[in-house]
Amino acid sequence: MQIIVCENYEEMSQKGAEIITAEVKSNSKAILGLATGNTPIGIYRYLVEAYHKGGLDFSEVQTYNLDEYLPIDPADENSYAAFMHDHLWDKVNLKPEHCNIPAGNVGMEGAAAECAAYDQRIQAAGGIDLQLLGIGRNGHIGFNEPGDALHTGTHAVKLTDSTIAANGPLFANPDDMPRHALTMGMGAIFAAKKVLLVANGKNKHEAVKGLLGDAITTACPASLLKLHQNLILLCDKEAYHG
Ligand code: PGA
């Protein structure tokens, strides 16, 4: 594992964008796994800036997002699809047909077929070259939540109270937050050639400790990542030192 501890959020975001930029420059057809949430917003801002300065070309890049609420309309302003349109997809020269995210408007009955199709698309694309990940306060990655077991493939999950408490306030009416989500499983995340996990702020310290500690446990899904051959932990001082 490579650990990069930055002074603050801005430095972390800049560094994250540099790592992704290097990936895209070394492979114009890179398959990027992308994440939503507060943490990667700065990275996307620096990527958009690098694109506008010139020299960063996403025209052949494909992206696969980790997760989406269920049920949600992709056009809903709270959907992760909308987040990605706002922060990256519509701001660089990614082709719309190259931007992938599980469809949250399939309903519970369509979830299994959507998940299987999503995994097939990732495999057909050749797997993920670089997976960007945030980390939940409870150690979740994507919506792979702490529990008795973790799953390999993309699957539907019931969100935990901790995740509902963290994300509910982002909805105009927190009660409108969907209680389920579709998430990539540990399989596609682990199969990524490189994983870039970003964390900032004191409230991520416990989760970062879970990642760095000796234990590998489904009680902290991120703890499994220390088995990954090419993991970069990119964080700020607060997340690292508490
Ligand atoms: P955050 O979410 O970036 O909004 O803290 C991270 C996550 O829950 O994976």
Domain regions of the chain by residue span: 2-233
45, 13 contact by CB (below 8 A) = yes
CA-proximal residue: ligand 1, atom 7 (nearest): 136
Percent of the chain scoring above 90 in pLDDT: 94
Could you identify the atom of ligand 1 that is nearest to the CA of residue 36? Answer: 3
Tens of pLDDT, residues 121-166:
999 999 999 999 999 999 999 999 999 999 999 999 999 888 898 8
Q: What spacing in Å lies between the alpha carbon of 3 and ligand 1's midpoint?
A: 19
What's the pLDDT band for 187 if we cut at 50, 70, 90? very high
What's the pLDDT at 123? 96
Q: Please give the model's pTM, rounded to 2 decimal places.
A: 0.97
What's the pLDDT at 110? 96
Q: What spacing in Å lies between the alpha carbon of 37 and ligand 1's midpoint?
A: 5
Give the three-state DSSP class for 233.
strand
154 closest CA partner among 204, 188, 195, 191: 188
- 134 within ligand 1 shell (Cβ under 6 A): yes
Domain 2-233 has CATH 1.10.3720.10: no
224, 214 contact by CB (below 8 A) = no
Tens of pLDDT, residues 57-85:
999 999 999 999 999 999 999 999 999 99
